[in-house]
């Protein structure tokens, strides 16, 4: 049976539903109003104000960090310590990518972000988000947490995902202001894009956690899941580059 929609349009709709709701029309103003509260967020704020391409992703990462910091501050000492470790090591991946760009040794996860040319602000933000969540998260969870710690932090990790939803909600229509195709698609989605984005944020972060756990339980499954994630990251980057021009 022939499809009712052109393949390119279907891909555009898929990309829109996955990534657009991470941005809001008031994004720039909100980014200025989210005041840094930790050493990490102050560093991200400094990068956001720099001239390098890393400033694009640093804007959204700053907001996510502040939201996570506020949630972590409410926790008892042990989960607070563990999630602060997660925050620090996760951010270090981004900082290492900046150093790698400067010295010619860019981490694989960040290669596309720093080597693609002609990207606009929205594309940089989305490619950075895709790489950082789907490329860095599972590595941090696996390399810096033992099986007991992973089991212990799971509910707090999931609750932190919900805390990050405020960033998604605050940034919902930024992409519409930057891309006419996304604006038109937003109008025909009847608001379902926001609900789907919330679902996908949970799914993406849950998948990273499962990959890390599989590294301790089933090595073959661990390798297979890594390969699937790499393919997803590559395909999503392709859609961002070719459909959001």
Q: How many CB atoms within 10 Å of residue 193?
A: 23
* Cα distance between residue 20 and residue 208, in whole Å: 21
Distance from the Cα of residue 198 to its chain's centroid = 12
pLDDT, one tens digit per residue, over 135-147 is 999 999 999 999 9
* Cα distance between residue 34 and residue 31, in whole Å: 5
Indicate the average pLDDT of the chain: 84
More confident residue, 31 or 126: 126
Q: What is the pLDDT of residue 104?
A: 87
pLDDT, one tens digit per residue, over 161-217 is 999 888 776 666 677 677 677 767 667 777 677 777 788 889 989 999 999 999 999
């Amino acid at each position: 049976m022939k499809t009712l929609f052109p393949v390119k349009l279907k891909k555009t709709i898929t990309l829109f539903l996955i990534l657009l709701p991470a941005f809001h029309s008031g994004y720039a103003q909100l980014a200025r109003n989210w005041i840094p509260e930790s050493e990490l967020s102050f560093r991200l704020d400094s990068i956001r104000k720099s001239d390098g391409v890393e400033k694009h992703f640093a804007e959204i990462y700053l907001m996510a960090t502040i939201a996570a910091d506020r949630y972590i501050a409410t926790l008892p000492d042990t989960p607070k310590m563990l999630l602060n470790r997660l925050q620090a090591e996760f951010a270090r991946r981004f900082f290492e990518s900046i150093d790698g760009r400067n010295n010619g040794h860019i981490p694989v996860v960040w290669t596309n972000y720093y080597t693609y040319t002609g990207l606009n602000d929205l594309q940089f933000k989305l490619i950075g988000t895709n790489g950082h969540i789907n490329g860095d998260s599972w590595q941090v969870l696996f390399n810096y947490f033992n099986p007991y710690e992973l089991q212990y932090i799971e509910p707090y990790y999931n609750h932190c995902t919900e805390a990050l939803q405020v960033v998604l909600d605050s940034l919902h229509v930024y992409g519409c202001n930057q891309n006419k195709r996304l604006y038109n698609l937003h109008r025909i989605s009847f608001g379902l894009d926001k609900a789907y984005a919330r679902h996908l944020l949970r799914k993406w972060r849950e998948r990273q956690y499962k990959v890390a756990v599989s590294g301790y339980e089933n090595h073959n499954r661990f390798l297979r899941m890594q390969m699937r994630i790499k393919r997803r990251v590559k395909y999503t980057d392709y859609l961002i580059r070719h459909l959001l021009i």
